[in-house]
Amino acid sequence: MSIIKTPIDFSSTPLGRNYSPFFALILDNVFSADECASLIRLAESSGPWEPAAGDATYISGFRHSSRIFRDDVDTASLIHDRIRGCLEEAGVTEIGPESKWVEVTGKKLQNWSKARGETGFWKVARLNPMLRFLKYGEGEYFKPHCDGLYEDKENQTKSFLTVHLYLNDGNGLEGGATRFWTPDKKEWLDVEPKMGRILVFQQRMLVHSGERVTGGIKVTMRTDVMFERVVVTREERKARVAEEQGAMQDA
């Protein structure tokens, strides 16, 4: 079954005033039911579900769920291979100063005067091999927040996109949507959990929550798209900027 790609156009939603230049993409049919079940078994082979893992601080009033951390290069590569073409088609595998999605890496935004970011050209290097499996039971949730940008100094890479894979649905699962919020929490947009679905979205300044599960259990996995800075000469920079401007005019 082929992957179904659904870009989220924030400009056509009530969140447009804040997020119209922001990136988010829904990918359906990325993994089959059997593959999702195998990923859950893989996570559980690493250890029990616990309220905190690694050096994380667990605050139940802010996030109430269980999780398992698994450092797994092979599985991260498998996921990357599944979505690589979709990311390329969406135009987020290489980002420069004039790219359509420049806000993913660093342009200061009109509505976010304190938003800081990175300059220059960036390209996708890999997915973060540290996979975070999350399990939400009835009544559990993750309150509104922005995902942190992870910097891997050893490999000189930095995360700018979150990859969120939904590993189950049905069996009484109710609630548990990923909800994008305006900063004032007055408007929102929901992405429902669906087995095999991946939600990719930018980490900078995009407020979201894991809404309360009102029935059943929700299991997901989260990782990051890691980027590396591309060093270019002045001539290459001019050529890249001209190419990006031309692509934006053609879009």
Q: Delimit the domains of the chain by residue range.
A: 4-250
Distance in angstroms (rounded) separating the CA atoms of residues 121 and 189: 31
Average pLDDT of the residues in 27-45: 98
Instruction: Give percent of the chain above pLDDT 70.
Output: 84
Buried (b) or exposed (e) across 34-69, using 16+ Cβ within 10 A? eebeebbebbeeeeebeeebeeeeeeeeebbbbbbb
CA distances from 217 to 27, 49, 60, 65, 170 (A): 22, 13, 17, 10, 9
Question: Who wins on pLDDT, 33 or 251?
Answer: 33
- Give the global pTM: 0.88
Give the N- to C-terminal CA distance of the chain in Å, as an integer. Answer: 28
Q: Is the pLDDT of residue 54 over 50?
A: no
Average pLDDT of the residues in 14-19: 96
Question: Who wins on pLDDT, 83 or 238?
Answer: 83
Q: Is the pLDDT of residue 250 over 70?
A: no
Q: Is the pLDDT of residue 46 over 90?
A: yes
Q: Is the pLDDT of residue 137 over 50?
A: yes
* 8 A C-beta contact, residue 223 and residue 83: no
Fold for the domain defined by 4-250: Jelly Rolls (2.60.120)
- pLDDT, one tens digit per residue, over 216-226 is 999 999 999 99
- pLDDT, one tens digit per residue, over 68-79 is 999 999 999 999
DSSP state of 150: P
The CA angle 73-148-81, to the nearest 5 degrees, is 30
Residue 1: pLDDT band with limits 50, 70, 90: confident
Q: Is the pLDDT of residue 104 over 80?
A: yes
Q: Is the pLDDT of residue 53 over 70?
A: no
Average pLDDT of the residues in 189-211: 97
pLDDT averaged over every residue in the chain:
89
Long-range contacts of the stretch 84-88 (C-beta < 8 A, 24+):
86/3, 86/5, 86/25, 86/27, 87/124, 87/200, 87/225
Which residues make Cβ contacts (< 8 Å) with residue 249, sequence separation at least 6? none
DSSP-derived pairing of the beta strands 213-215 and 174-175 = antiparallel
Residue 236's pLDDT is 64
